[in-house]
């Protein structure tokens, strides 16, 4: 009986020791859980929005484009611009065309008449004789720059039976033309023609 009590007493002591040991081992864990520093809150990173910059092109003020000239480039004559150097081809009867000058400056108005000098103008419409004006290149090629207006009225009209009578004045505005040699040719009769020169404004003719 005494031995049984002793065994029960020892077993009770062991149970008490185990319970106490278990409580002590659990407390640090709870304390550790309690003392655990909460994680730092995440810093909110703002999303960078792309900046779109609109670049407007510079304003362009429309301007007047220069009028085209009848030739691709300015052609300089190798001869002097003196009227003495404008040699008229005799086979084309330049005397049938009367002009107010032989050399003109760019910007001036060329005036000329078709004159009744004889039979070489036969076949022309004296009220509106057809003519063409050409630019003469140094290599001999011709570039048409102007022609007659069939609806234009003239101050003078040729009288077929009156030698020396004339039709005109015809005119040519040289503002759109380049310096160089030009040819007036009437497209009727025997195609009488006459040369003249247009010079640059910077050219000065010595007296």
> Has residue 96 been placed in a domain?
yes
> Has residue 3 been placed in a domain?
no
Angle at 49 between CA 44 and CA 53, to 5 degrees: 160
Which token pair is 56?
């407007």
- Per the listing, tokens 């003519």 go with 131
Q: Which of 4-18, 20-34, 111-125, 144-158 is least confident? A: 20-34
Strand stretches in 40-187, DSSP E: 97-99, 103-105, 109-115, 131-136, 142-147, 166-173, 180-186
> Has residue 147 been placed in a domain?
yes
Instruction: Pick the closest to residue 142 from 70, 192, 207, 60 (CA basis).
Output: 70
- Host domain of residue 110: 83-199
CATH number for 143: 2.60.40.1930
Q: Which of 72-76, 146-150, 189-193, 196-200 is least confident? A: 72-76
> Has residue 19 been placed in a domain?
no
Number of domains forming the structure of the chain: 1
pTM over 0.85: no
> Has residue 7 been placed in a domain?
no
> Has residue 95 been placed in a domain?
yes
170-193 b/e (C-beta count within 10 Å ≥ 16 → b): bebebeebbbbbbbbbbebbbebb
> Has residue 115 been placed in a domain?
yes
Could you read off the pLDDT of 71-112 as tens digits, one per residue? 443 333 433 344 445 666 555 889 999 999 999 999 999 999
Ramachandran assignment for 177, one of left (phi > 0), alpha (psi -120 to 50 degrees), beta (any other): beta
Q: What is the mean pLDDT of the chain?
A: 74
> Has residue 57 been placed in a domain?
no
Question: What is the distance between the alpha carbons of residues 117 and 98, in angstroms, rounded to a whole number?
Answer: 11
Q: Are 131 and 186 in contact (CB under 8 A)?
A: yes
């Amino acid at each position: 009986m005494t031995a049984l009590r002793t065994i029960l007493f020892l077993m009770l002591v062991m149970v008490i020791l185990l319970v106490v040991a278990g409580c002590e081992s659990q407390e640090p864990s709870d304390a550790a859980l309690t003392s655990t520093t909460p994680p730092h809150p995440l810093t909110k990173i703002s999303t960078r929005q792309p900046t779109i910059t609109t670049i407007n092109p510079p304003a362009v003020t429309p301007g007047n484009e220069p009028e085209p000239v009848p030739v691709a480039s300015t052609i300089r004559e190798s001869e002097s611009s003196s009227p003495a150097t404008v040699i008229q081809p005799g086979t084309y009867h330049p005397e049938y065309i009367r002009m107010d000058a032989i050399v003109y400056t760019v910007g001036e108005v060329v005036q000329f008449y078709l004159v009744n000098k004889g039979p070489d103008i036969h076949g022309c419409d004296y009220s509106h004789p057809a003519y063409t004006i050409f630019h003469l290149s140094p290599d001999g090629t011709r570039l048409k720059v102007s022609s007659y207006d069939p609806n234009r009225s003239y101050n003078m009209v040729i009288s077929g039976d009156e030698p020396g009578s004339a039709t005109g004045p015809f005119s040519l505005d040289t503002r759109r033309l380049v310096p160089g040699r030009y040819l007036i040719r009437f497209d009727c009769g025997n195609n009488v023609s006459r040369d003249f020169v247009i010079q640059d404004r910077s050219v000065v003719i010595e007296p």
